[in-house]
Structure 1
């Protein structure tokens, strides 16, 4: 695990010895953006100082909590863990300033609220399809008409299963609960054309180098890949959407302050600033995403703007209940 003191305010922010937070996240540009849009304004307002650590892994949280020595106050990691281990590995959120009514239905839990929203976007490299172009999610599964490798992140919750069902004729409103037999049967039809990337960087490189012709991947990586030179065109037919979350590990040394930070992060000013910086969408329903001053690239790959086809929020409770069993099945399917 790498450690770095965040230079947002430092001791000059006026924070006392207990006015500090340890923030675990993914590292890299993503965490730098968190410092700029979220941590710096909180330091300016409260004097709180931050220590940033990476990577944020649930195994580390389990080790700390089991030992009764939690050192992280906030961790940017999947809400699935907060749902599955609420009040065991992660704290319930009780601060009244965290208003769950401000978020889309089905995106909150006792131990998590969304800090931003993103999408799993289907896009293709237009340089590889000079004639006919993909126009629907069915085209992702049509290797005869649209040949080439499909690169996806090696994680069952990356939007592939829902896409398979819709491509096979399931109406979006009836995707959940997932019919896994049907989904894997559909995936079998393109299995030899799928590349399961172990990192988002691998997805980006394969698309830039034209080793893959299309992908389903997260908003931020789609934007970064386009900036790196891949001529990506998004297909706004069917898209799954999801949330990012900051979790409070059980026994966090500054739990109350961490919850104050969570409420602050979701306020309109910070949520809008973070969306503008990264290209994600604010989690709150009272912020007009169409009014945010996105760059041209951010607009091009933003699934939350108007006229972007059908968007389906991934069902939080279904994934919390089924992730462990599905992961085993998914792993066996890949090697089978």
Structure 2
């Protein structure tokens, strides 16, 4: 879901000057996104129980960085064993930068299209349409089309701008009447024209934290926000925000194993542990993100139930992105998305 990176040459230089010789059979290094409910949930639901059960020490590192992983592999000095990253990276670099992962009998435990040879789903995220109840009161928006209709629903909109692959384009096309099964190949120009309708009312947040703060501080009236951040906003006091029951683009993160790690078998074992229903359910309860396993049954609190878009009774709302299409087109779409923002 989130692409991060520093220059490959710089990363390689840092690695060559500072890395050790790799892991050993008694420990693993798991890389995630840094401090926050998401990584804390992984530590408490995945890593600590695995360490307790097996005696294998699991070191938590971060933040996840695709360019740094590439530099490690190309320098032959791999010190990471598992990294949490976007689904496209796993498809684009399978067999070159990443090891193939065999999850065995768990292969049917994930939503269709989310598992790939080198990427095992770790968490699901829905791009939710939420509105500020203080603004709209008894006349709330009811569909995605309302987010893109400033005449019918005046007000400030906010969405995350750095990565266009979390569902913003899909949301625009769904709002414009494109059926979910006809979304791909994405008509990017059409999607951007839909966004043009609200251009003067749209705040393009450069970080998820900026978007979350705008919601909590009543600096916006509507938001397209990933479910984990919606949960964080509600927990931080933004209880005036309500979910619109409408179509929700769904994305996911995956766990990958860098090619050349000394601990491939142990890393695979940890990923299999993580992919079981019980750890997945516990992670969802702690983080506010969706469990990757379709067999997980998390016991959600009242706040989580408000923004839960992945439950079986909301199956009609979920629209999974096409990761294969995004893998082939990501760079080109980023260029169009960036040019639109700066035009």
Same fold (TM over 0.5): yes
C-alpha spacing 1:95/1:108, structure 2 compared with 1 (3 Å): closer
State the 1:19 CA deviation. Answer: 1.5
1:117 aligns with 2:117: no
Moved more, 35-44 or 193-202: 193-202
TM-score by length of 2: 0.89
Alignment counterpart, residue 276 of structure 1, candidates 285, 307, 311: 285
Number of paired residues? Answer: 318
Contact 2:167 2:251 in 1 (8 A): no
Instruction: Return the alpha-carbon distance in structure 2 between the equivalents of residues 176 and 69 of structure 1.
Output: 39
Aligned residue for 1:106? 113
- The secondary structure found in structure 2 opposite 1:77 is strand
Question: 1: CA distance between counterparts of 2:40 and 2:311?
Answer: 25
What corresponds to 1:297 in structure 2? 303
Answering whether residue 76 of structure 2 is matched by residue 65 of structure 1, we say no
- Does the Cα contact within 8 Å between 2:121 and 2:253 map onto a contact in 1? yes
Q: Structure 2 unaligned segments of length 5 or more: list them.
A: 6-22
Give 1:158 deviation, angstroms.
Answer: 2.2
- Shift in CA distance, 286/95, structure 1 to aligned 2, threshold 3 Å: closer
Please name the residue that 1:48 is paired with. 56
Gaps of 5+ in 1: 2-15
Name 1:267's counterpart in structure 2.
Answer: 276
User: Is residue 97 of structure 2 the alignment partner of residue 89 of structure 1?
Assistant: yes
1:15-38 Cα deviation digits (max 9, x unpaired): x95221111111112222211110
Matches within 5 A, 1:1-336: 18-29=25-36, 30-96=38-104, 99-154=106-161, 155-230=163-238, 231-287=240-296, 289=297, 292-308=298-314, 309-336=316-343
Indicate conservation of the 8 Å contact 1:159/1:216, yes or no: no
> 1:293 and 1:96, CA in 2 relative to 1: closer, same or farther beyond 3 A?
closer
Q: Relative to structure 1, is the Cα distance of residues 95 and 271 closer, same or farther in structure 2, using a 3 angstrom cutoff?
A: closer
Give me the whole-angstrom Cα distance separating, in 2, the residues matched to 1:135 and 1:142: 12
Q: Distance in 1 between matches of 2:333 and 2:40?
A: 33
Task: Tell me how far 1:281 sits from its aligned partner.
Answer: 2.6
Alignment RMSD:
1.7
- Aligned residue for 2:17? none
Cα deviation code 1:179-232 (max 9, x no counterpart)? 112111111111222222121110111111111111111111101101212211
**TM-score w.r.t. structure 1 length?**
0.90
CA distance in 1, matches of 2:289, 2:63: 21
Matches of 1:224 and 1:328 in 2, distance apart?
A: 30
Q: CA deviation at 1:312?
A: 0.3
Question: Which string of whole-angstrom CA distances, capped at 9 and with x for unpartnered residues, describes residues 65-117 of structure 1?
Answer: 111111100111111111111111111113535x3222221111110121222
Tell me the equivalent position of 1:6: none
Q: Kindly provide the CA deviation profile for residues 33-61 of structure 1, in whole angstroms up to 9, marking residues without a partner as x.
A: 21111001101111111221111110111
- SS of 1:151's equivalent in the other structure is strand
Secondary structure, counterpart of 2:126 in structure 1: strand
CA distance in 2, matches of 1:69, 1:169: 50
